[in-house]
Structure 1
């Protein structure tokens, strides 16, 4: 979840570091030239299966890696990743999207499941003439991204999933009927309180960066939903409960990383390990001082982790991450 844009106050030294990183990112392939600054963003309105949807593209004319497709959570939209662009856009072309049923795109009835959304992703990439992408999926974006990778494996170069699981969390399944009834009767403040508790860890669980500030902004985001937002949110919950989030289909053998906040109580680290164990050669790690909203609470660090993985730079021994694990290898060893 990260529909809102949080721009924290940066110390002058950190701001200088961020600017330098954006202008001159580390070279990923020997002596290749430093990438140029990204071009202005463009938007494309597309239609798939009779439903209009919109994508946003920030092009990089001198990329060091394949385009990066960012699929966010159910309350994210195509603008949610602008805060990450300073670190990611100098490396490659970025693509974000409001799939049918989300953001400003057309309402999508719950009868259309995850396969439809995965195929909409493929439709978009064909329209954009992008035969392969580095794929990031966060929260619900992982559900769509994994199905896309399973159904269209040849279009995926690398996979990264954050705040991810291969089953619906019990907390979510228990909360959905209650939240649906609350939204349907128009008790927005009550629903917002419930959603904040669902997506954020208990403050006593452990230190989470900017926990109070993010909780306030998340509350405001939910309270300020339009009737169209609420209608889509109810339909989204119905879609997930009806269709489920996971199919045990083959996953392409490509470089894969699953990560989550160390205090994620919705999609717990153990659930992330379970997902990684189903993916050939997948690595897993936790991000310190973060919960389910890791890409909001630790924006620069999550962007750095994504950038490193997409450019084949080392990701072990990062100061903001826990140990790097290989759950799929451990699972295979346990079976022998």
Structure 2
């Protein structure tokens, strides 16, 4: 197994002996190589952190820059780490024969390479799939877990839509595929009031229309990867404080699916954010950032005006005190 670490920026000028501590908000880009596949990570340093670094794993259509809009609320709390794992964003193409275990191993490689022994872990949509497998296989790295738009199994509407969408992408019918992807990720307007629904739909449509050939190739391979390997294995989950949430009108990974996942975790709570759907972290950016930030800094998440009731869904009654 070949690994390497390639600095993506010049080091600061040396003015004294010993390491130079990063200044608040200093951004570092790193290019890493795991098992021959190059990938990229982005670190927003916070020397005066209130908690362990927060790793943000986004969905398949997001990259390491997708969380910049959340930084003004989260970066004062801790160091933020985002990553384009192999097969995603600007990282190397990854054939679908490499499954979720490989991506979890790449995440472990990243944390070892940047010398981060313990993290708060956030995973949204596909990021939850990788994050959960990582927590199951490498629990020693995980301090707290937050998952959003999560499910134990691939939603039926996804498995039904994937063949049509992948074929449209392969034929170059980008507009047709983009429309189908928007309908897949966003709730029907009749489901309930969702903030910024029309604006986010337009943004998503434009994002899909502007995909490069490389991004389209990776998107098709991503769908093949998920359909081939699935998204869940019933392995033990570390008994660390955990939170699962989604938008109250999420029609892709429904609230009930989120509850089912939370129930498999020994120290999990569940809630929904009001007036949002699967794209809750875009539609209600400040509120979702506040919820994540509160949880990873050990503050109360009860009775927040933008959330519905917080439910305790511990699978193991031995750990019920950790849910509170």
Pair in the same fold by TM > 0.5: yes
Q: Does 1:50 align with 2:36?
A: yes
CA, structure 1 residues 233+58, in 2 after alignment: closer, same or farther (shift >3 Å)? same
> 1:77 — aligned with what?
63
Structure 2 stretches of 5 or more lacking a match?
1-21, 319-324
The 3 A distance-change label for structure 1 pair 261 and 86 is same
Does residue 165 in structure 1 map to residue 151 in structure 2? yes
Q: Does 1:234 align with 2:220?
A: yes
Query: Cα distance, 1:161 vs. partner?
Result: 0.1
Question: Which of 203, 206, 209 does residue 220 from structure 1 map onto?
Answer: 206
TM-score (norm 2): 0.90
3-state secondary structure, aligned to 1:328: coil
Task: Provide Cα deviations, 1:236-280, integer angstroms capped at 9, x if missing partner.
Answer: 000000000000000000000000000000000000000000000
Tell me which of 232, 239, 245 is aligned to 1:253.
239
Pick from 93, 102, 116: which aligns with 2:102? 116
Q: Is the 8 A contact 1:115 1:147 kept in 2?
A: yes
| Conserved? CA contact 1:294–1:302, under 8 Å | yes
1:313 equivalent in structure 2: 299
Equivalent residue number for residue 199 of structure 1: 185
* Contact 2:104 2:134 (8 Å CA) reproduced: yes
Distance 1:289 1:37 in 2: 37
| Distance in 1 separating the partners of 2:317 and 2:94 | 38
- CA-based RMSD of the aligned residues comes to 1.3
CA distance in 2, matches of 1:52, 1:217: 29
Q: Deviations along 1:158-211, whole A, 9 cap, x unmatched? A: 000000111000000000001011001000000000000000000010000000
TM-score by length of 1: 0.87
The CA distance in 2 between the partners of 1:322 and 1:250, in whole Å, is 28
CA contact (8 A) 2:264 2:315 kept: no
Equivalent residue, structure 2, for 1:25 = none
Match of 2:13 in 1: none
| Residues 199-234 of structure 1: per-residue CA shift (max 9 Å, x gap) | 000001000000000000000000000000000000
Q: What's the secondary structure of 1:292's corresponding residue?
A: coil
What's the CA shift for 1:92? 0.4
Size of the alignment, in residue pairs? 297
Deviations 1:299-332 (A, max 9, x none): 0000000000011100010000010101235999
CA distance in 1, matches of 2:171, 2:267: 47
